[in-house]
């Protein structure tokens, strides 16, 4: 059992499957007239974002509100952080205000682990530097399972800027835990040092790998994190590693195309691929809300009193009780 979600490595197969199953229950209830649950009524969730974000921040906010939690959105821009306030002082401030959960995105790898030592509430890692993004991996796994019916034995190719990608690291950890076979495809300059110890296969030839895949996931080229020239030109990168219509045709008929967003259309993925029926990119955004609802639901559980429950099997979900 866990009290925070800091890394995909925190999740064993049973716990990860519990999150996915809970998200499935929540998704089934989303079509009902009453979409909100009373589960976290009276609880406070703080979204603490030190980096720009659209999908993740809004997704966590929507998830918490659908569980009837009170939500406080904190952005480093326009706050005391710009005056020099440290992460610790910000954490102590949130602690004094009675935050039950803190969702943090930070440019420094390891910041959520440090924050978890300073606050009593649950801490959820929404992306830390180039380290990890566990809820993105969970929603990606949920999407794969929803589309293809299983995770065990799936052949997943993760293509692109693996070196700077926290999404790739979390997906490798989670998918290998759930029995998928992961192949990383990237230029040699964008493959991390030490990748030989990861539970993956590495390839530099995308065209050779595509016919064997059930899932291909394109990663955004993170130019804002690059301080050197990792490939000759954007055009050359797109030619070697971009997902275009020709490469879409090389995939097995059942295979799906994924991207964590935001996309560089025309670079890592062509517009006709991103908008094709085999693309799950918009579906991933929808699934992200359900998965993050499941994470908050399981971590906080709506229990009353000072003792915060661990991630455990939840009571039956009853959306009809929400008013």
* Pairing state between β 155-159 and 201-203: unpaired
pLDDT at 84 over 50: yes
* pLDDT tens per residue across span 19-29: 999 999 999 88
* pLDDT tens per residue across span 6-18: 999 999 999 999 9
Determine the pLDDT at residue 28.
86
Check the annotation: does 55 bind a ligand.
yes
Which residues have a Cβ under 8 Å from the Cβ of 208 and sit 6 or more positions away? none
Residue 218's beta-bridge partner residues? Answer: 159
Determine the pLDDT at residue 224.
57
Check the annotation: does 246 bind a ligand.
no
Phi/psi class of residue 153: alpha, beta or left (left: φ > 0; alpha: ψ in -120 to 50)?
left
Check the annotation: does 323 bind a ligand.
no
Residue pair 289/66 in contact (Cβ under 8 Å)? The answer is yes
pLDDT at 80 over 70: no
* pLDDT tens per residue across span 32-49: 777 889 999 999 999 999
Output the average pLDDT for the chain.
Answer: 89
> Rounded mean pLDDT of 120-124?
96
Angstrom distances, CA of residue 157 to CA of 60, 129, 218: 27, 22, 8
pLDDT at 87 over 50: yes
Check the annotation: does 262 bind a ligand.
yes
**Which of 59-63, 127-131, 230-234 has the lowest average pLDDT?**
230-234
Determine the pLDDT at residue 233.
81
Check the annotation: does 56 bind a ligand.
yes
Angstrom distances, CA of residue 44 to CA of 62, 106, 260: 13, 20, 27
Check the annotation: does 261 bind a ligand.
yes
What whole-number distance in Å separates Cα of residue 272 and Cα of residue 95?
Answer: 47
307/26: higher pLDDT: 26
Determine the pLDDT at residue 297.
95
pLDDT at 302 over 90: no
What the chain holds in terms of domains, given with CATH numbers, is 4-132+284-302 (3.40.50.1370), 134-280 (3.40.50.1370)
How much is the pTM? 0.90
What whole-number distance in Å separates Cα of residue 139 and Cα of residue 40?
Answer: 21
Residue pair 111/128 in contact (Cβ under 8 Å)? The answer is yes
């Amino acid at each position: 059992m866990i009290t925070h979600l800091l890394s995909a490595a925190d999740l064993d197969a049973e716990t990860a499957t519990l999150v996915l199953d809970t998200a499935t229950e929540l998704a089934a209830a989303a079509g009902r007239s009453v979409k909100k649950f009373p589960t976290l009524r009276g609880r406070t969730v703080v979204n603490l974002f030190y980096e720009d974000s659209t999908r993740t921040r809004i997704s966590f906010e929507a998830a918490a509100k659908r569980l009837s939690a009170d939500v406080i959105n904190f952005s480093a821009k326009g706050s005391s952080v710009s005056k020099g306030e440290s992460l610790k002082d910000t954490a102590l401030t949130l602690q004094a205000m009675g935050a039950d959960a803190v969702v943090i995105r930070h440019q420094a790898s390891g910041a959520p682990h440090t924050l978890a030592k300073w606050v009593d509430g649950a801490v959820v890692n929404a992306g830390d530097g180039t380290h990890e993004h566990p809820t993105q991996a969970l929603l990606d796994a949920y999407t794969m399972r929803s589309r293809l019916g299983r995770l065990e034995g799936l052949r997943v190719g993760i293509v692109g800027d693996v070196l700077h990608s926290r999404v790739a690291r979390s997906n490798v950890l989670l998918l290998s835990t759930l029995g998928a076979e992961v192949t990383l495809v990237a230029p040699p300059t964008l493959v991390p040092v030490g990748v030989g110890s990861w539970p993956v296969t590495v390839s530099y030839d995308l065209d050779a790998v595509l016919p064997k895949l059930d899932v291909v996931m394109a990663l955004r080229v993170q130019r804002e994190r690059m301080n050197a020239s990792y490939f000759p030109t954007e055009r050359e990168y797109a030619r070697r590693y971009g997902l275009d219509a020709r490469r879409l045709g090389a995939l097995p008929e059942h295979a799906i195309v994924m991207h964590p967003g935001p996309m560089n259309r025309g670079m890592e993925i062509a517009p006709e691929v991103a908008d094709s029926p085999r693309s799950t990119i918009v579906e991933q955004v929808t699934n992200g809300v359900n998965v993050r609802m499941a994470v908050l639901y399981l971590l906080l559980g709506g229990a009353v009193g000072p003792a915060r429950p661990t991630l455990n099997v939840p009571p039956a979900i009853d959306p009809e009780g929400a008013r």
